[in-house]
Amino acid sequence: MKTVVFYYVRHGKTEFNKQGIMQGQVDSPLAKEGLPVLHETRDALKDIPFQRCFSSPLYRAVNTAEIILEGRNIPIEPLDDLKEMNFGDIDGKPHKDHKWTMLLMHAIDNFRPIHGESAGDVRTRTGRAFRYMYDQCDDGDHVLVTGHGSYYMYMLEELLHINRLQAMKRLKPYGVPNGFISVISCTDGKYSVVLYPHTAEGFRTYTGRSV
């Protein structure tokens, strides 16, 4: 029997987040205003004995990992399959100018009509990413994973074998805000969510009971 615990953290607030620009596989730097949340996240995780760290290769996720791992001698291992969903032709465009296209593509769970990815594409990537990370780790390892918001939704669907509506219901009341922490445990290939995305303070007080 082998158990690995993943601590999934969404990247910190970025300049594109501030400006209302859609941000899938395009990238932008972390915003100064969002750093206090990441510092709280780092402090909440300071006693977790991480053995590994995997990150989306996008800079906003790598930089988030760097902040959380400050003072630790743990390499950050970029993994392409942890990238955010590709929003195609509207990726990197102002949300206000393309909100109806975004709503339609999300409604059908498919950005392929505008040269992006489908929900199935992202689910396939998330399953592959977590199988790889699990296989690379030893029993009892604690693993930091820094990634993205929309990706987390599809990750839940894939790992827990649930549909979109069920995933959205489980993410209430918070969603997946910048810098929030989620805890996912995997034992012999079976996943359970110990903590859905929560604040640093919520992480400090969570019971550890799977939900």
What are the residue ranges spanned by the domains of the chain? 3-84+120-205
Q: Is the pLDDT of residue 206 over 80?
A: no
Sorting pLDDT into bands at 50, 70 and 90, what band is 43?
very high
Range 51-68 average pLDDT: 98
Q: pTM of this prediction? A: 0.95
What was the pLDDT predicted at 173? 76
Known active-site residue 77 = no
- Tokens 């969404």 belong to which residue? 10
What was the pLDDT predicted at 210? 42
What was the pLDDT predicted at 79? 98
Q: Is the pLDDT of residue 207 over 80?
A: no
Sorting pLDDT into bands at 50, 70 and 90, what band is 15?
very high
Considering the domain delimited by 3-84+120-205, tell me its CATH architecture.
3-Layer(aba) Sandwich (3.40)
Catalytic hit among 11, 157, 158, 198: 11
Q: In 3D, which of 26, 30, 22, 25 has the Cα closest to residue 178?
A: 30
What was the pLDDT predicted at 211? 40
Known active-site residue 161 = no
Q: What gap in Å lies between CA 175 and CA 172, rounded to an integer? A: 6
Cα-Cα-Cα-Cα dihedral sign, residues 187, 152, 69, 135 = positive
pLDDT of 109-159, one tens digit each?
999 999 999 999 999 999 999 999 999 999 999 999 999 999 999 999 999
Q: In 3D, which of 37, 84, 79, 77 has the Cα closest to residue 203?
A: 37
Could you tell me the two tokens for 93?
């465009």
Could you tell me if 10 and 147 are in contact, meaning their C-beta atoms sit under 8 angstroms apart? yes
- Tokens 């465009």 belong to which residue? 93
Q: What gap in Å lies between CA 196 and CA 144, rounded to an integer? A: 15
Catalytic hit among 40, 70, 84, 98: 84
Angle between helical axes of 149-160 and 119-136 (0-180°, round to 10):
80
Percentage of the chain lying above the pLDDT 70 cut:
98
Average model confidence (pLDDT) across the chain? 94
